[in-house]
Structure 1
Amino acid sequence: MVSSLAAVLALTAGLSLATEADSGQGNTIGALTATVLSGVVLAALVTASINIWQARRKSKEEERNRLSAAFAEAFAAYSAYNEMPFAIRRRRRDQAVEERFRLSEALREIQARLAYHEAWTAVESEEVGKAYAELLQQMRRTSGVAMHDAWLAAANRSDVAMNIPFSVVDLRSLKPYEQAYLEAVRTHLALLTPWRRS
């Protein structure tokens, strides 16, 4: 496609210059040479410009994909933290010490991931970083309290108790902050690739 476009533009430019040369000096070898060279130069410039634009577009697409995956990982770490109140309430009663260690280690790993993503999002985008920080703040207020309460409660004794109702753990208040974060991410990614609709 690029070669065809360049050839058409070169031919057009050549014909135009040839017409001008014929009217002023006649059909000379010098005019023909100038026409050919002008067409070649124009074709090269057009081809180079298109190739550079395509390379930059590809680079932007790759950057968008990388950032999209990283922002998704940040949200996954947030979601993992929100699962902890449920995991704590579903801990095994017959292995209390082992379960405390297992769940504490899992929480420590999640906390490390959250700290990393909070710092990274702030560096990558001020708007996304602010939305993520607010999301984590509300998460700690909501899921953190639910986690505290889960440790105080006795471990579940039956399969029925594995179904934890909103009256026990309710994280629905986090939804507006989740939406704010996702909207900030969408806006940031759209600035990288304005030719895409989403």
Structure 2
Amino acid sequence: MPYRIRRRSESSSAVRQQLTDEVSSLLARMAFHQAWLQIEAPTVAGPYATLVATARAEAGAQMSLAWQHPPITTDSGMNLGIPYPRDRSNAARATCIEVMRQHP
């Protein structure tokens, strides 16, 4: 989402609403999958919860920073140059996937 925010077409209330709706949808899907895992695969639910919390912390901070930038208005600006770091999220995802692989 920080990339989507940086690359938003404009700073209108409609665009802001669309992006915040997308964030809400993502959060709802993560909550659904968390509940499903708690029912179907409790041993996986913990690592998944850690992944979600880690991703939300990283992305939340990055989204806050992204909103502080003006919308990109040029084709050359679409390449942000430096990726947002996801080291903690990637590590949490690897752990979650490993637990998922071990789950019967």
Give the structure with higher Rg (CA).
1
Report the TM-score, using the length of structure 2 for normalisation. Answer: 0.89
For residues 165 and 133 of structure 1, the distance between their equivalents in structure 2, rounded to whole angstroms, comes to 31
The answer to whether 1:117 aligns with 2:33 is yes
Q: Which has the higher contact order (CA 8 A, sep 6+)?
A: 2
Report the TM-score, using the length of structure 1 for normalisation. Answer: 0.49
Unaligned runs of 5+ in 1: 1-83, 192-198
SS in 2 for 1:129: helix
Q: CA deviation at 1:104?
A: 1.2
Q: After TM superposition, where is structure 1 displaced by more than 2 Å over at least 4 residues in a row?
A: 164-167
Output the aligned Cα RMSD.
1.5
Q: 1:172 to 1:166 in 2, by over 3 A?
A: farther
Unaligned runs of 5+ in 2: none
* Aligned counterpart, 1:172: 87
- Structure having the higher helix fraction is 1
* Aligned counterpart, 2:73: 157
* Aligned counterpart, 2:47: 131
In the TM superposition, 1:11-160 aligns within 5 A as 84-93=1-10, 96-160=12-76
Q: CA deviation at 1:132?
A: 0.3
Q: CA deviation at 1:170?
A: 1.7
Task: Report how many residues are paired.
Answer: 104
